[in-house]
């Protein structure tokens, strides 16, 4: 069975790799509900951070806060 990708016909191993890569990209997307994001943010707030960890905390906290649907 062949796979047509942008006018190029992929067969065999190439087609299988393309299908696997597409599935992997799709599976790596994470959709979190507002409740789940709030839960993670509350747990992040409760933790203690030292030195460089605080910078990482702030970056992650900011990104998650921006994901909450307004």
For residue 52, the cross-strand partners are none
Q: Is the pLDDT of residue 7 over 70?
A: no
- Please report the pLDDT score of residue 4 as a whole number: 55
Q: CA neighbours within 13 Å on the CB side: how many for 47?
A: 14
Give the span between the Cα atoms of 19 and 7, in whole angstroms: 16
CB atoms within 10 A of CB 52: 8
Q: Is the pLDDT of residue 41 over 80?
A: yes
Q: What is the mean pLDDT of residues 37-56?
A: 93
Q: Is the pLDDT of residue 8 over 90?
A: no
- Please report the pLDDT score of residue 32 as a whole number: 81
- Please report the pLDDT score of residue 5 as a whole number: 55
């Amino acid at each position: 069975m062949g796979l047509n990708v942008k006018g190029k016909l992929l067969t065999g191993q190439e087609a299988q790799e393309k299908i696997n890569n597409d599935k992997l990209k799709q599976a790596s997307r994470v959709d979190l509900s507002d409740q789940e994001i709030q839960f993670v943010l509350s747990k992040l707030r409760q933790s203690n951070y030292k030195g460089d960890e605080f910078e990482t905390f702030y970056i992650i906290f900011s990104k998650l806060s921006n994901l909450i649907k307004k």
